[in-house]
Amino acid sequence: MKEMPLQVEVKPKSKLKIPSLSKTRKRSDYFWAYCMIAPTMIGLTIFYLWPIIQTIYFSFTEWGAFGQYEWTGLDNYRRMLEDSNLLQSFKNTGIYIVFTVPIGIFLSILIAVLLNQKIKGKSVYRTLYFLPVITMPAAIAMVWRWLYNSDYGLLNYLLSIFGIKGPQWVSDPKIALYSIIVVAIWSGLGYNMVIFLSGLQGIPRSYYEAAEIDGAGPVKVFFKITLPLLSPVIFFVTIMSFIGAFQVFDLIFMMIGKSSTALENTQSIVYLFYQHAFVLNDKGYAAAIAVLLLIIILIITAIQMVLQKKWVHYD
């Protein structure tokens, strides 16, 4: 803005040059733009965009033992309708989502709100809660399996003090999924907490000060100010957690042994995809499962876009 007068002075002098200059300049702009996006666009096309089309195509094929495949139309999709394993994996994933998402979000909001108060040692708490986020899931699974160990695990020892015989946390089909859910909530808490915390810090202090003058109690402040103003973030985190939970694999793969009695009652949709794609060499069916996942996630995304306009409170 300050240099405006200078520009006005320059203008008449260079008037003649501008058309030709801008043409070569434009050409140079295009050249550099295409050069700069080329590596990423080519890479995305080969490794991500083209594979989407290929997977959709594969979902209509059946694979033989030596990597050859033939067109079988809707067979894989028909097979899905009768596949009790797939149905069970939907149930398992559903239970996993229903518990991890709401509880995880509730706890992370709670911690974030407490950390947003005027207290000492905030950064220490924040660091400790964040630790599982940076930890390799393979290591997380390892230590929790040890805590859950039915004979020598700490958890069952603590229960035995109270005279309770602890269950087989990761091999009892009725319990294993819930044991995984606890670990999932534990390991995801810090991530959501950090996002909520940055959302809370975006709420202007003046709102709280005004509420304090009006004599509103902490509960009222939370429901009348914090919650509505945080709602865009809550909405965003809910959708992201939902999509993430829908694709759960790592924890289940590593906490439940391949030959575990609890496998049937814990395997998720993605686990089943992995099994068919890379263990059973049933790639056509695996592709159909992947397409199903794609459709469901696109539907969730569409719902998100519609709902976002409706009920989220933007100030």
- Binders in 16-45 for another protein, by CB under 8 A: 28-30, 32-37, 39-41, 43-44
Q: How far is the CB of 38 from another protein (least distance, A)?
A: 8
When asked if residue 105 is in the footprint of another protein (CB under 8 A), the reply is no
If the CB atoms of residues 22 and 78 are measured against another protein, the closer one turns out to be 22
Three-class SS state of 256: coil
Q: Nearest Cα to 207, choosing from 315, 312, 311?
A: 315
Q: How far is the CB of 32 from another protein (least distance, A)?
A: 4
Tell me the window of 48-56, 96-104, 165-173, 220-228 that interacts with another protein (CB under 8 A).
48-56
When asked if residue 64 is in the footprint of another protein (CB under 8 A), the reply is no
If the CB atoms of residues 15 and 258 are measured against another protein, the closer one turns out to be 258
Among 176, 177, 184, 197, binds another protein (CB under 8 A): 197
When asked if residue 281 is in the footprint of another protein (CB under 8 A), the reply is no
- Residue 176, classified by CB atoms within 10 Å of its CB into exposed (0-12), middle (13-18) or buried (19+), is buried
**Main-chain phi, psi angles of 63, to 5 degrees:** -105, 145
When asked if residue 229 is in the footprint of another protein (CB under 8 A), the reply is no
When asked if residue 148 is in the footprint of another protein (CB under 8 A), the reply is no
Tell me the window of 95-103, 122-130, 163-171, 222-230 that interacts with another protein (CB under 8 A).
122-130
When asked if residue 181 is in the footprint of another protein (CB under 8 A), the reply is no
The residue type at 14: S
When asked if residue 69 is in the footprint of another protein (CB under 8 A), the reply is no
Decide if 266 contacts 275 (C-beta within 8 A). no
Size of the site for another protein (CB under 8 A): 99
Q: How far is the CB of 168 from another protein (least distance, A)?
A: 14
The alpha-helical segments, DSSP class H, found in the chain are 4-14, 18-44, 50-58, 75-82, 84-115, 122-134, 137-148, 154-161, 176-200, 205-213, 218-221, 227-246, 250-255, 269-274, 283-311
Q: How far is the CB of 243 from another protein (least distance, A)?
A: 8
When asked if residue 252 is in the footprint of another protein (CB under 8 A), the reply is no
Residue position matching structure tokens 């097979």: 79
Q: How far is the CB of 269 from another protein (least distance, A)?
A: 9
How far is the C-alpha of 110 from the C-alpha of 121, rounded, in Å?
Answer: 17
Angle between helices 137-148 and 176-200 (to 10 degrees): 130
